[in-house]
Amino acid sequence: MNHPHIAAIYGLEESGGRKFLVMELAAGETLAVRISRGPIPVDEALKIAGQIAEALDAAHEKGVVHRDLKPANIKVTPDGHVKVLDFGLAKAFEGEAGNTNLSNSPTITMEATNAGVILGTAAYMSPEQAKGGTVDKRTDIFAFGVVLYEMLSGIPLHQGETISEVMAAVIKETPDLNRVPARVRPLLRSCLQKDPKQRLHDIGDAKLLLDISVPSAEYDSKPTRSRPLWMAIAALSSLAAIAVAALWIHQYLMPVLPVRFVVLPPVGGVIESAYSTAPQQLIAGAISPDGRKLAFPSKDVASGKIMMWVRSLDTILPVVIEQSEGSGGAMFWSPDSQSLAFFSQGMLKKTKIDGGPPQPLCAAPNGRGGTWNRDNTIVFAPNTSGVLYRCTEGGDAIPVTQLLQGQRAHTYPTFLPDGRHFTYFAAGPSDSVSGVYLGSLDSRVGTRLLAADSSAKYASPGYLLYVRKGTLLAQAFDGTKTLSDETIPLAESVSVVSSGSPSFSVSDNGTLTFRTGPGNQNLQLAWFDRKGTFLGSVDNPGGYRGVELSTKGNRIVTHRHDGSGGDALMGERDGPLHPLTFDSAQDNSMPIWSPKGDQIVFSSLRNGMWGLYKKPSDGLGKEETLFESVPQKVPMSWSPNGNFIVYWVFNPKTNGDLWKLSLADNMTSPLIDSPFNESYAQISPSGNWIAYVSDNSNQSEVYVESFPAGQGRGRQQVSSGGGRYPRWSADGKELFYINLLNKMVAVKVNDTVPTWEQGVSETLFDSGISIISHIGGDYFTYAVRGDGQQFLIPRPPDTFKKDFTLSPITVVLHWTEMLKK
């Protein structure tokens, strides 16, 4: 249950063999404490009663009966806000003590043979509850009347020296209402009927009775003149009209407030996916179209195993999806909310929520989102680069978009209501290219809608939701091409995972989920040892994207992103950093050192052309253009002999490829080009080998092969179970990489011999690295000092704290009410 006047339960935990519930901390004093100071003024009491009635009404609609409503289970904040506590809870009662406070006695749990169970606090029981009979929502209505009487009178309605006497009063005594104001007596009479059939039928009707002003003369004991029949009928008709009008007002005009609560991971787990575990790249799960179920991946901390989980919002605990190992965070629902699609082990799969093994649909080595329409058509992104595809029943994938100039990837599509059009995120080298696009099943050419850092999701009643600079925004959209000029902020510090992946989801009926965290524009360059111990930081936080150490390890060069571009910065090991380039409008990215440390090479987008440029590291000389061409390119590594520069280049036909530039004749040639995505190249200290990443096995793995020959000669796989970002130690005896759980791994190697020799591997520490590329991962996100004992990693400053924890998923019900603020 989720309601402003019901204390939320966040989880079921266990410690030392004891199970316990984690409940919202409700501020203020209990109603029992408030009543102990004397009767509550009628207007204040009625406001409190109205909020209690709203809480019970919400619970009854869910089929939940409180069974133990009493002043001690109701909190009232200093500003009069009510929280009802302890739904359905019962305490063991082991006997009758003579000094028991019967108005706040423990909840009774007694079994009299098998005839029935008596539950509830004696002074607030309904007659049927006291007799051990069946209870329903009318039991709560009786308790509501008892509580309201006590608020107004300052004394308990049912009294006695023992629990037995109190229960007898509950069952037999007719309550004396002379102590309470006349205007509330009709309501109390309706609530306190001994026969549940004669009692107020629905707690939602209580407010109607509270709103009808009844003159006190009606309760005068003196006889009154009888009225003509037609006057009585007219009066009844008028009251009926008032009641109908009040009911309409209550249902349609009463303000609806957004309700917020959080969803925590299973016990012993953290909400992470196999694709992103960095602290500022938080998975918010996927809310089902009907708004009732939330799916999310969770990693078991002890085993490192990642599985898909689903939690119904009307329950406390999530349920695991069997055979969902290695799940990514880009899951999506069928339109009827009965099936879930997700990416796992190189495949797009679907599963029925009510059981059954997942069924493979289409190959998806590094799936990045999908969408499902009512015609059973699925559009998805199988990779971090490339176009969107349509998945057919036979398992074949048919492209439905094409890359426009400058685009590298289409990801995270969302169908619009017509089932033919969809939005998606296009990743590119700059904000002028990246953003949200409108696509169609009838045409492969998309149309740009808006600039954004994440994909957009359509939400009724006609809005696009997306993230821009850490803010979750809503913008009115007519479902075709027309957007309003106004953007409405919904939440701050909402993260973007990578390649436009949003850390939010939204249902068809007004439920929103999101996660907050530090953004990519606030990373701190920091040093860590092989145990992951924080050793110190460099300069100020910023949007660092790529970091490189000189051969001796005493100087740093990095790219700091600012807006749509950025500059290369350089400095000593402990900073400060100084600009090496001075045109922040360009994307002067991923600078690398020459072997001697006297030159820097970086890439930049200038006049529609991507080029490699060289500049003296002292910053005094002029830039030299090495070469320029249209495809995006990023320098990766400079050979120890100074003869070659290996760079990554984007090819729309073959994804990412590795090329080499010969500095002797300024000629370029392919080094490793294939239909798969190759990236993150690093030449070994001896110059004999090159380490790089390829997804040819349906997931990213680290490989080495001979250099400068390349093209698969002597190729060996180094990583096991996935790997990224290889880096060499200066002596060539260790090769480091980041596994798919973001752990730093060290592998013993020997790069000085003609044949490849590889020894044992060791997992060092949780790197906390960030996928900090604007377009999904073309920059090295850490550097290794020459001796392999220290690592320079850009990370959010908060993650250095020992007590840092990942934020939970925030769920907002009735989020559209936020648009009115």
Q: In this structure, what DSSP letter does residue 41 have? A: P
Same domain for 104 and 173, yes or no, is yes
Q: Residue 710 pLDDT more than 80?
A: no
Q: 530-559 pLDDT, tens per residue?
A: 999 999 989 888 878 789 999 888 899 988
Q: In this structure, what DSSP letter does residue 208 have? A: H
Give SS3 for 755. coil
Question: What number is the average pLDDT over the span 239-267?
Answer: 62
Same domain for 265 and 388, yes or no, is yes
Q: Residue 250 pLDDT more than 80?
A: no
Q: Is 38 domain-assigned? A: yes
Share of the chain above pLDDT 70, in %: 82
Distance CA 181, CA 773 (A): 68
Same domain for 109 and 200, yes or no, is yes
At 773 the pLDDT is: 44
Q: Is 331 domain-assigned? A: yes
Q: Which of 673, 657, 696 is nearest to 346 (CA)?
A: 696
Q: Is 229 domain-assigned? A: no
CATH code for position 277: 2.120.10.30
For the chain, what is the domain count? 3
At 220 the pLDDT is: 35
Give the mean pLDDT of the chain: 81
Its domain, for residue 673, covers: 523-795
Distance CA 655, CA 676 (A): 6
Q: Residue 109 pLDDT more than 60?
A: no
Burial 345-360 (b: 16+ CB within 10 A, else e): bbbbbbbebeeeebee
Same domain for 527 and 515, yes or no, is no
Q: Is 634 domain-assigned? A: yes
Same domain for 701 and 584, yes or no, is yes
The residue ranking higher by pLDDT, 234 or 199, is: 199
Question: What number is the average pLDDT over the span 801-815?
Answer: 78
Q: pLDDT band at residue 92, thresholds of 50, 70 and 90?
A: very low
Q: 438-482 pLDDT, tens per residue?
A: 999 999 999 999 988 889 999 988 899 999 878 899 999 987 778
Range of lowest pLDDT (330-339, 408-417, 581-590): 581-590
Q: pLDDT band at residue 192, thresholds of 50, 70 and 90?
A: very high
Q: Residue 228 pLDDT more than 60?
A: no
Q: Residue 416 pLDDT more than 70?
A: yes
Q: 75-86 pLDDT, tens per residue?
A: 998 878 899 988
Q: How many CA within 13 A on the CB side of residue 74?
A: 30
Q: pLDDT band at residue 28, thresholds of 50, 70 and 90?
A: confident
Distance CA 764, CA 749 (A): 16
How many CB atoms are located within 10 Å of the residue 810 CB? 18
Q: Is 407 domain-assigned? A: yes
What amino acid occupies position 428?
Answer: G
At 518 the pLDDT is: 60
Same domain for 274 and 211, yes or no, is no
Question: What number is the average pLDDT over the span 52-80?
Answer: 89
Q: 347-369 pLDDT, tens per residue?
A: 899 999 887 889 999 988 878 89
Q: Is 644 domain-assigned? A: yes
Q: 129-178 pLDDT, tens per residue?
A: 888 777 888 999 999 999 999 999 989 998 887 777 888 889 888 888 88
Of the candidates 57, 68, 567, 673, the residue annotated as catalytic is 68
SS (H, E, C) 560-585: EEECCEEEEEEEECCCCEEECCCCCC
What is the reported pTM?
A: 0.59
**Strand 18-23 relative to strand 29-30: parallel, antiparallel, unpaired?**
unpaired
CATH code for position 45: 1.10.510.10
Distance of CA 606 to the CA centre of its chain: 37
Q: 417-445 pLDDT, tens per residue?
A: 999 999 999 987 667 788 999 999 999 99
68 is an active site residue: yes
What separation in angstroms does the CA of 136 have from each of 65, 71, 111, 133, 201?
6, 20, 19, 10, 11
At 447 the pLDDT is: 93
Q: Residue 48 pLDDT more than 90?
A: yes
At 261 the pLDDT is: 85
The tokens of 383 are what?
Answer: 């990779």
Contact between 349 and 343 under an 8 Å Cβ cutoff? The reply is: yes
Same domain for 728 and 671, yes or no, is yes
Same domain for 424 and 554, yes or no, is no
Q: Is 227 domain-assigned? A: no
Same domain for 198 and 287, yes or no, is no
At 112 the pLDDT is: 31
At 289 the pLDDT is: 93
Share of the chain above pLDDT 90, in %: 34
Q: Is 237 domain-assigned? A: no
Same domain for 138 and 285, yes or no, is no
Distance CA 459, CA 490 (A): 13
Q: Residue 214 pLDDT more than 50?
A: no
Q: Which of 426, 346, 345, 330 is nearest to 378 (CA)?
A: 330
Question: What number is the average pLDDT over the span 408-418?
Answer: 91
Q: pLDDT band at residue 769, thresholds of 50, 70 and 90?
A: confident
The residue ranking higher by pLDDT, 272 or 420, is: 420
Same domain for 626 and 595, yes or no, is yes
Distance CA 5, CA 654 (A): 57
Residue where a domain terminates, one of 252, 276, 303: 252
Same domain for 588 and 603, yes or no, is yes
